[in-house]
Structure 1
């Protein structure tokens, strides 16, 4: 199947419309399943994550002969990210996909994948996350008494938009007023780059850009499109300054209650769906860039070495190396490149 912009009604926290309570089920019949499992996420039904999750649920029901009914609750229906994470830990929800940068409130090591300019491209991301770095983060997640699937799903690279000028190198960010999420990692990075980061709730970002409270913002391409930032931002600089993904988490007790053969089937289909979702997001990003360009948004390639050098000079990498620890940082650099 092909995922297009037309499918994507909104994205993650960008959704301003509350959908009615709805669970998508993998079972085609009303027959009682032996195991009913709830899977929550914060993305809309039309997002590749939920399209692939629906296929996954159907496949799991079929291969288990109806023993497993995986019910999908999209669009944050079961609560905020932090609320749902608490439910997964307590057993109220069996499965949840969560950004590593948010999971870091419980598992600090999970945010290491978001270190600025660590990854040059998706090849580097998947080599690291399907390799030693991903294994390290999963090990840390398991210490928090959670089960985590092998394949991380894609959230995307973040890009910088601006109303005044293209951002090509680090000098272009000097005193640049940029909106960032409420996160120490984001604020630390943009301060180190010489910018003036301001934390603003997502629902207020469009107005802040429109009224020039800030000069720009940064988000994955899908959010730039669905939030219509192109209406108040002229330039989009392809900085790829941070990457993040969704870890597929499970309640440990609920997982261990499933028979080994059922666990194997469920894990197999979850990981396969994650791989398909990665391809969908990559295709969607290319489509969105063309669409936004046709609406007048001007795109430019940035110079990542300039930003990395500025972060190194400002002590950003040294600071976060100390926070993550020598072992974790060494794994990151073996998976990407030497930074600190």
Structure 2
């Protein structure tokens, strides 16, 4: 029997196409508040690409950038409630649920470098201390990604703790305002987008806005000719947290791939921003900005003030207390806290 090529070839092409375009076994939807064009967004996309490639297409991820599905502060709840599968925003957004989230989002004045913070998470009991907090809210934390130290910008010198006295500056809400107020500063909570105008009109003398590269991009150093670098006061971490039911439904090999891909992405995040911030610092100095790299004594003084506030927040809930105790124990182990 002779087959008619007119009918056979189209049939074979259809069959091959169907085999090659098989549907993924697992479809995950995740949201980040960063834009796809930003360095953070590009690093997030590398995570997506790695997971899809390492699973040979068994996992497909739909990533929503720029908080395009729900507001950034609502991402966690959207994942809890099944609107999304995962959240790649900041844990500090969830301090209204439990103050403990502050201590997986930003340990103000705690660590000097992102690597110390990662070390707490992976080798200092951080993951074990944080996981019950996430599970209590129906989530599973996979890992952190940390850009690096943030820089304070000012129209006056910031050489020591004493320079915070009567310093009027933009501050994000939360524990930051309490720490700086105790140091004699006058923190004013305002939106990020209002900072430049507030500096220009002298409503504020400085700002706790972002890292030195972002501060440069928005023009803060056209006005504020003093900045801390590398920063010491804040080093925000964003997380990858997955709905616990979704996470538990994934096979062990898929879970391991996501964990490994997250570690790679986190470290690349820190490295890429280190390059970006270093270049920004060099350019800022060339433009007449004075940079202040606080010595160990001044950092310890700020950490001591901050620690008092951590411990105060640690009394609010059991989970907060557990996380604060975990951080302090690890800082003592690596010598950041001596007693």
Under a length normalisation based on structure 1, what TM-score does the superposition of the two structures give?
Answer: 0.81
Query: 2:146 corresponds to which residue?
Result: 154
Q: Structure 1 residues 30 and 162, CA, compared in 2 at 3 Å: closer, same or farther?
A: farther
One of 181, 187, 191 as aligned partner of 2:172: 181
Please report the RMSD computed on the Cα atoms of aligned residues, expressed in angstroms. 2.5
**Which residue of 129, 133, 139 corresponds with 2:132?**
139
Unaligned runs of 5+ in 2: 1-19
- Name the SS of the counterpart of 1:157 in structure 2: coil
Task: Confirm or deny: 8 A CA contact 1:107 1:141 kept in the other structure.
Answer: no
* CA deviation vs aligned residue, 1:250-295 (integer Å, no higher than 9, x gap): 1122223333333333333233222222222222221221122233
1:331 is aligned to 326
Alignment correspondent of 1:204: 194
Q: Residue 179 and residue 304 in structure 1: after superposition, are their counterparts in 2 closer, same or farther (change >3 A)?
A: farther
Residues 1:324 and 1:215: Cα distance change in structure 2 (over 3 Å)? farther
Other structure's SS at 2:236 match:
strand
* Count of aligned pairs: 309
* 1:134 Cα offset (Å): 2.1
Mark the runs of 5 or more structure 1 residues left unpaired by the alignment. Answer: 1-28
Q: Deviations over 1:59-117 (max 9, x none)?
A: 32233332221122212212222221211111111121122322333342221253332
* Aligned partner (choices 34, 45, 53) of residue 44 of structure 2: 53
Matches for 1:252-263 after TM superposition, within 5 Å: 252-263=244-255
Cα pair distance change 1:327/1:96, threshold 3 Å: closer
Alpha-carbon deviation of 1:190? 0.7
Equivalences for residues 1-340 of structure 1 within 5 A: 32-113=23-104, 114-135=106-127, 136-149=129-142, 151-163=143-155, 165-183=156-174, 185-218=175-208, 219-238=210-229, 239-303=231-295, 305-306=297-298, 308-309=300-301, 312=304, 315-323=308-316, 327-337=322-332, 338=337
Relative to 1, partners in 2 of residues 1:273 and 1:284: Cα closer, same or farther, differing over 3 Å?
Answer: same
SS of residue in 1 equivalent to 2:274: helix
SS of residue in 1 equivalent to 2:75: helix
Q: Structure 2 vs 1, CA of residues 67 and 321 (structure 1 numbering), >3 Å: closer, same or farther?
A: closer
Deviations 1:100-137 (A, max 9, x none): 32233334222125333211233422222322252212
Q: What's the offset of the Cα at 1:310?
A: 6.3
Structure 2 CA distance, aligned partners of 1:264 and 1:311?
36
Runs of 4+ in structure 1 off by over 6 angstroms are none
Distance 1:317-1:304 versus aligned 2 partners, 3 A rule: farther
CA separation of 1:59 and 1:306: change in aligned 2, threshold 3 A: closer
Q: CA deviation at 1:317?
A: 4.9
Bigger fraction of residues in helix = 2
Alpha carbons of 1:115 and 1:56: their partners in 2 closer, same or farther (altered >3 Å)?
closer
SS at match of 1:250: strand
What is the alpha-carbon distance in structure 2 between the residues aligned to residue 327 and residue 35 of structure 1? 35
The offset of 1:30, in angstroms, is: 6.6
CA change 1:92–1:305 in 2 (3 A) is same
**Partners of 2:113 and 2:57 in 1: CA distance:** 40
CA 1:339–1:84 in 2, change beyond 3 Å: closer, same or farther?
farther
